[in-house]
Structure 1
Amino acid sequence: MPTPSDVQELSYEQARDELVRVVSELEQGSASLEDSLRLWERGEQLAQRCEEWLIGAKARLDAARAAQLGSGTPDASR
């Protein structure tokens, strides 16, 4: 299993897809306790990475909207 530092190199889509696989494996319930804990920890890391990507995307959208409003361009969402 990749290390936590590897998680920081994943794109949003890669982290999300791996998280889906981890959750699926946990839901099967066939893993040992140790493996389940390892999967859970990996899932937490992946979820955090996805959240980081989403927070960053929101910040970029907010900045773009602020720039648009600051330039006098009408807000397309109205």
Structure 2
Amino acid sequence: MKEHENDFGNFGKQILDIAPQLHPYVKHRLYTAETTGIIPRNMYKVGGVIDDAIITLFEDVHGTIQSNDELKIKLFTMT
């Protein structure tokens, strides 16, 4: 149990380093999708998209990512 908590703590620290860069990227992607008519306006929120990506990433690749760069690339490609 302690090992799992430590993994989650490290994962959380890595996410906090990446989150400030991820927010504007997702915001612009949503804006582009809304203005081109791909998705209805105000259907998705930036925070919700990021939260879903983080949860999916933690469940799928938990413990297999070795560096911040790998995590960053994976997270940006998921959003």
Q: TM-score, normalised by structure 1?
A: 0.31
The alignment's TM-score, normalised by the length of structure 2, stands at 0.30
Structure with higher Rg: it is: 1
